[in-house]
Amino acid sequence: SKRIKTLSVTRPIVFGNTAKKFGDVRPPNAPTEHTHLWTIFVRGPQNEDISYYVEKVVFKLHDTYPNPIRTVEAPPFELTETGWGEFEINIKIYFVQESGEKNISFYHHLRLHPYIFTTDQKPIPEQMNEVSSSFYDEIIFNEPNEAFFKILMSK
Ligand code: SLL
């Protein structure tokens, strides 16, 4: 449909990961070299449902994973896995069909290891067993079409 000129709509988004070192219990199907359980996610800042404008999220994992391209088509847009190493996860957010918007693509560095930093920026491993690394951002839709504008304004 027609575009509304000179209008932009922004939507806040939070993405990142949490990770936990295995304790005494290992997840039953985890390969022996795996040490951590982690979750990568894309969500609203207050955990609000973003599926009215997000159609799906595709997470591309390191090639050491079987079927590294993981598609999540319904909320919560998150994926839990086990592993041993940190790597860059490619996140692609696809918007609802009616929007006519292209997907957005960016990277998140999967963090497994907790660090504290000395005043001269030297990292010291911490004895914490859960880590979390997440970021706030805003998606800007420039001149959304009328159909998408209605969808964006519906919440
Ligand atoms: C590193 N550049 O060397 C990184 C690679 C790969 C992580 C990390 C398990 C995959 C699997 C996994 O944790 N891969 O075998 O299921 O640190």
pTM: 0.89
- Per residue in 16-41, pLDDT tens? 999 999 988 889 999 999 999 999 99
Enumerate residues lining ligand 1, CB below 6 A: 31, 62, 64-65, 83-87
If phi > 0 it is left, if psi is from -120 to 50 it is alpha, else beta; for residue 100 that is left
The label of the residue with tokens 């079927």 reads 67
Each residue's pLDDT tens digit, 32-74: 999 999 999 999 999 999 999 999 999 999 999 999 999 999 9
User: Encoding tokens for residue 40?
Assistant: 């990568």
pLDDT of residue 64: 96
CA of 47 to the centre of ligand 1 (A): 29
Note the pLDDT of residue 23: 84
CA dihedral of 52, 58, 59, 65, whole degrees rounded to 10: 140
CB proximity list for 84: less than 8 A, separation 6 or greater: 33, 34, 35, 36
Q: In whole angstroms, what is the distance from residue 82 CA to residue 85 CA?
A: 9
Distance 108 CA to ligand 1 centre (A): 15
For residues 77-103, give the mean pLDDT: 98
Asked whether residue 116 carries a pLDDT value surpassing 80, the answer given is no
